[in-house]
Structure 1
Amino acid sequence: MTGIPLPTAKWISDGKEITPEGRLKIESAGPSTTLSITECQRGDTGEYIVTVSNPAGSKTAALHVTVLDLPGPPIGPINILEVTPDHMMIQWRAPKDDGGTPITNYVVEKKDVKKVPGLIEGMEYRIRIRATNKVGDSEPREVPETILAKDILVPPEVVVDVSCRDSVTVRAGQIISLITRVKGRPDPEITWTKDARALSQEKRLEMNNNYPVCELIISDSVRSDYGKYGIVAKNSSGQAQATILVNVKIKLDGTLVVRAGDSFAVEAIVKGKPQPDVKWTKDETTEEIKKGPRLQLETGADFSKLLITGARRTDSGKYVVTASNSVGTSSAKCRINVLDRPGPIRDLKKCETKRGVWSVHSNAVITNKAKVTRLIEGNEYIFRVRAENKMGPGPAVQSEAIVAGTQFSVPDAPEAPEVTKIGKEEMTVQWSEPDRDGGKPIIGYLLEKREEHAVRWSPVNKDPVPGTRFTVTGLLPLHDYQYRVKAVNEIGVGTPSKASRAITAKDAVGNPLPHTSLYALTEPPAPPTNLKVVDSTKSTITLSWTKPVSDGGAPLIGYVVEIRAQGSAKKGDDGWKRCNVAAQLIVCEFTVTSLDEKLVYEFRVSAQNQVGMSLPCNLEGAVIPREILGNEHCIEFVTRSVTLILMLAPCLGTNLWRMAAAISQTMLLKNVMWPEAIG
């Protein structure tokens, strides 16, 4: 641990500070601190956190310690699931404590359930189990009683679920679900029947036998699904059966689905006194439906029935029956949907014009668009689409010839993101949409982060987020982070934006506003000014600067000086390196050491407060480390277009002066001051 002044250390485990006692010993000497635990136990497993702090701040580090030991015994009771003359099926639960390392196997077998082969019928056995990890075997868990090796047979038993006991009534178009619970040993063979005839799997009918639950499901129920359904369970010990009566009703104010060519009837119960007059209409028209070759009407004392034979797609619609007498009027409606070709898209084919051969791209498209892949750029293609529903396929529609080529691109890079909310463990990052989306709508954005001066960027979100704001969590307090964002469309991921400025993960510091409980949030300070070189040798350069005009509302922690050798910038790394930690530099002067007189250097300095770093102040022009022989003096001359500087420096140990100047035209002397030493 390092810091000025020297930090003090504190050890924490399970949220409590560790005190040196018993097996625990803490030794802190100079820049190191050590926690020792003698004769460690499984209970010493956990996360240990060390926090070092001084008046300038604090840092934490965490370490997870795992103490390995023998696993605990398997958890009982041990269940006997199956007993036969030649094997037993036994089951247990894993130990509560795996000893800190995964269980590698059990003494009985490497699974939680194990068949024990090679038993002798009529013999009694005792069973025990041990768990094993890489440290060794646990204590055994033993079955408390002896077990007789013999086969257990149980005759079938069928119980109908309470939801469909006695009978089930559904409306046409709904799902019929018949649920039963079946027991027996061995597992019985299940047969479903309807009106004493065996059923088999088909498009609308599904049989699920997940013992003990056995279920028969009929989707899109129709009138003909009415009947008496039975289930028969049979094994070597016997058989059992149960029956369920199913009623299918066609009710007004509902929807009836029929096939094209079939006949359908809609019946309404009509009551009233005096006897009502009944009228049938279709859709929003007021024209009464009349009898015809395919249409029949029948009205009795308490009902009215509409029958249509040879159904067509044009018969689909809303049918309304209205009953009226001298007392009043009442109506009911029913929607009819006649299925016919075409339906949802199910078949897509392509043909390369040069070859003239059609190939099926997909026969499972359920939307009105499809992405055709594995095309050859530059080749010409024709596409053909056929619609298909459960009534069958429809006619094909063919496209014009089109050449495969790139039409769209990935989105442009957004502008550099900004951090709008700062905390010690999370930040809220916001960005704007890119100028171009590549011709395809933007699906979302991928945000990346890195610690300042790190080379690699790490993803923040796995899947694109649709908005332009995201809260990043799991940050390390007092670490500096930068962010960049990429836009995503269906073509791919765009180029990343420029990196945001570095922000320190720290709770925002605020000053209370007068007469309120609110706080005025602070911001990073303004950049320093007037950065210049005040001294130089062959291996050092001394810089000075002026403090920022604004501290951002919070006291300055200090300054950070950065250096970059010209030409050292690389892709993904701007080449800037820190020369110091902000808390170690609180004055406006700093000497950079260990420089190479053959290199050209650039410098910049930033101010830092509790919120974060300011923008940098760059030194104007690059400098080379060189020896200054004495105090140099500058005389500034101004022409109409340029400023010239005359440099005067004494040569140490002699009476001579060195002078350097650039003179290109007639000059006017401005603010000339001669040092007394020069006279």
Structure 2
Amino acid sequence: MSWKIEPLVEGSIYFFRVLAENEWGIGLPAETPEPLKISEVPQPPGKVTVLDVTRNSVSLKWEKPDHDGGSRISHYEIEMQSKDSDKWTLCAQCKYLETTVTSLAQGEEYQFRVIAVNSKGKSDSRLLANPVVVKDLVIEPDIRPKLTQYSVQVEGRWMKASFTNVIETVFTVLGLTEDCKYDFRIIARNAAGSISKPSESTGSITAKDEVDPPKCEVESVYSQVVIINAGETFTLEAAVQGKPIPTVQWFKSEALVENSARAEIMNSDFKAKLVVKDVIRVDGGQYTLLLTNVAGAKTVTFNVRVLDRPGPSQGPLTVSNVTCDKCSLSWLTPRADGRPAPKVVWTKDGQAIKETTRLNVSRTASSTILAIKEATRVDSGKYKITATNSIGEKVAEIGVIILDKPGPVTGPIKIEEVSSNYVNLAWEPPAYTGGCQINNYIVEKLKWSKMDGPLTERAQIEVTSSYTMLVIDNVNRFDTGKYVLTLENLSGQKSAFINVRVLDSPSAPENFEVKDIKRDSVSLSWEPPMIDGGAKVTHYIVEKRDTTRLAFTSVSNNCVRNSMKIDDLTEGGIYYFRVKAVNELGVGLPAETTEPIKVSQAPLPPGKVTVVDVTRDSVSLAWEKPDHDGGSKITSYTVEMQTKGDEKWSVCTEIKALEATIGGLTTGEEYAFRITAVNDKGNSEPKPLADPVIVKDITIEPIIDLMFNTYSVKAGHDLKIDVPFRGRPEPEVAWKKDGANSSKITIKDATREDFGKYEITLTNAVGKKSATIAVIILDKPGAPSAIKVDEVSADNISLSWDAPLYDGGCQIN
């Protein structure tokens, strides 16, 4: 037989038991021998980062898995792989979120991965993003002397009262003599061993306890009998006072009342409270509240009356002699008759019945009676009556079935399947059915849980048929809380609550956040820790860390508020912040900013905004950078416009440059513009254009911007003449050479024929503009002409000629 139980709470620990039920009641249970935890393997750890590297070690840190599989992470395994190897080897195991891997080879490159392990197995691995080369990091030395110890002294002949290093600014002096007077003073010592002057004396203090006998205030309603119906709940409570705080006990009659499924004692330091649920008739009577301390005792009585129907009549009964106005009720008894009077012997299962206070045999003249008081299942069986006289013997058999609750199912209970939210159980029917057929089984759950989180792996649970016990060894602050015992079957569910307070340093403060960021300061806020360690939080320690450093530095060691503004930070610097709560037992866990905080703010507005150009449907704008970027780089500029007569500003573009052209505007419409600078902290105040702009075409007479008016090029080379010009509307361009029209702008493979004067003419609706450009082709000169003989003699001749028509673009030398 089997049953699947769902849904179950992931991570919870359960016991299960099965009870058989017939028409006469519910039998004894069969239970699972060990507690069963509903869980699975965890998810992989979070991001893995490198904390430090030396010549032979690497320090790693990682984040918790997003989900622990419903079972607490027992430890983490760190594996490494060298650069030239495909094999991963286990190099470390630890319970915390950081470790140092040692004995590495200097200069070698390693890869690392981290695996989370719980009671169900190992997670997938989380790989370090980049391999690490093992070598020493160089870090500038940083020395921060600090006070390392306080010494507490007692006056008389001043004696040392503290024999351990007192690090905090709170200390409890023990071992004083009652009613003696003492003075105290404090001396500070730093890491260098230097000792301060003593503080001023506290003045005379007498060591003695304050005592006040217990007192109690009860509401007037309890001066009368508390009347309650069966099945309802009643509460008895009283206000409690006294020094030291009195011990509170509840008694019913003379019996001590203890916590149970129905009776819940909810006492506190200043209130005594007893709650009884689902009351029955035995819950009626007198209750006594006893308060005791060293100064005396105080008692208060409460009277409770439970209204209920009468109990059932005892049976079973046989109805006989029924008439119209009466009937007889009796036990069925076997009859024995004979002459002479027979001797009657009763046996059960072949054994003679021995009379006891519970079993009694009697007879009348005509019958014999076997009376069984308070019958149990062992009284079931075959009974034989033997009547004997001198004439003969007669035997009669009677089968007796004791209708009772069935026996326990035949165990052990088998666990066939377990998942994160259900379990399959199987068992065999009970050996004893209670005298009739089993018509169903009741599956019960027993669960210990903690209201504010899962039970610790250190929790041990013991269960018997009548009680259960939860044992936690080596408790810490996280074991503080409200524990719940839940019993559940088909008939319903019952819970009991126990509050546990563990004395320890506090847990981390709650809701730690950065409220405001300026260019050189931040404002932090937080809420008190959920677990105060059983003692009042006296103050907080606030620390900061620049991302360029590995260690935190103190900002304040005695912050008594839940907020703080940190000034004098480096503009544009990136920091982590954390805060720790302190009580008389020590410094608690830190709450840290999860992401680095950049100290910056929104930028100042952009500089002067000017109009670069205007057309019939667009406006081009330019602006200057802000005087200050707020400590964070400008990421973009937002250009907004506003149509005349409209109060709404609309975004027309976002751009990284210092100029923009806004198109799609309406001709003749008047627009105002403004520019906003944006960085990662937000938007600056907008910078407006000084005057609105009317969108229309601007007419400009053609303008020629000649860089040179003469160009030279060697024959056979190319010449490109670029002439910058302006004008609106855009002018038409015409070229002429030596007075004749020409479309040549680029001259390829120049020859002497390309020599001459070129004229460019620009024409638009506003006007006309011309410019002349001389082009010189550098080439060999032409042939001289008109050569003639001027004079001839016996030993010489004189010649003359005309210069060539083309000098090659330069003077003939």
**TM-score grouping bracket, smaller chain normalisation:** under 0.3
Q: What TM-score comes out, normalization by structure 2 length?
A: 0.23
RCO greater where, 1 or 2, for CA within 8 Å and sep 6 or more? 2
Please say which structure displays the higher CA radius of gyration: 2
Q: What TM-score comes out, normalization by structure 1 length?
A: 0.27
